Chains A and B, each alone.
Chain A
Amino acid sequence: MVIDFNTLYHFPSRLDRVFEEFFKSPMGDDRRLAYPPLNLSNDDENIYVRAELPGVELADVELTLSDKTLVLKGERAAPQGKYYRQERQSGVFHRVVNIAVPVDRDKVKAVMTDGILTVTLPKAEDVKPRSINIEIA
């Protein structure tokens, strides 16, 4: 058989795993909580929602923006064949992101690059920070 024997037979890989546990990232545990994992960030202009969705086409993702939430829905299909090992998530995914700031709905953009979905939500004009000139009398 061709199967991945690592866990039983391959000592270096077991060692790798020990190091992997040792150097675990602080965000490591969050990765298992919900699928897909998300990064939420913002700057003065936009709110960014990024999701790890390897193997999912942008056309297969449904994005719904309501007043206060962005809903991310879709399905990831599992490849067909006789399985020896199955670790990749498959099936329906659904995540809801709270967007507390008003956004310009017409200018929302979604891009998929190397399996990472980036949704850019431009902030509405009235919530953007503005610099005000103060004239000294």
Chain B
Amino acid sequence: MSEIVKKEDRSPARYRPATDILEREDGFHIFIDLPGVSRENLHIDLQDDELTVRGRTILTPGQNERFSEMQFGECEYVRSISITDIVDRDKIKANLVGGVLELHLPKVEKVLPRKIEITAG
């Protein structure tokens, strides 16, 4: 009994998913390959300056299915990306389409020069 429980508790293999980071006029774009990950199994967290993406694949083969070759399987994708102050954290957008997560990180609006009043002491 205890052995069965151990097998069920075993966590799936963990991978760093392939990621592209690029800059365009409207800000930064991050593309992360997450094949087999549905929206329900994807979690994105932003804590301080670290953005963490976690996605899990769940494959459901048929009851009588026999595998002769298996080059991918159930796994957990985890990727952390450090972001800096020039990103507007409130406007980060995420879109998962066809197994690719696209994150759009717009830059903060430029701080306008201000005139500082000098008061006589």
Contacts and interface: CB of A to CB of B under 8 A. Distances in A.
Tell me if chain B binds chain A.
yes
A38 B33 CA distance: 16
Contacts, number: 151
Interface string B68-90: 11111101001011111011000
A16 B36 contact: no
A71 B53 CA distance: 34
Contact of B21 (A20, A53, A83): A83
A131 interface: no
Interface in A64-109: 78-89
Interface residues of B, number: 47
Classify the interface of chain A: helix, strand, loop or mixed.
loop
Nearest to B107: A2
A25 B71 contact: no
Interface in A11-46: 12-13, 16-17, 19-20, 23-25, 27-28, 30-31, 33-34, 37-44
A57 interface: yes
Contact of A44 (B13, B64, B69, B80): B64
A135 interface: no
A-B pairs with lowest CB-CB distance, top 8? A115-B99, A54-B99, A81-B22, A25-B13, A37-B71, A115-B35, A40-B69, A52-B35
Interface of A: 1-6, 9-10, 12-13, 16-17, 19-20, 23-25, 27-28, 30-31, 33-34, 37-44, 48, 52-57, 78-89, 112, 114-116
Given A13-B80, A54-B33, 7 more contacts: A1-B84, A6-B80, A16-B16, A19-B14, A20-B15, A43-B62, A44-B64
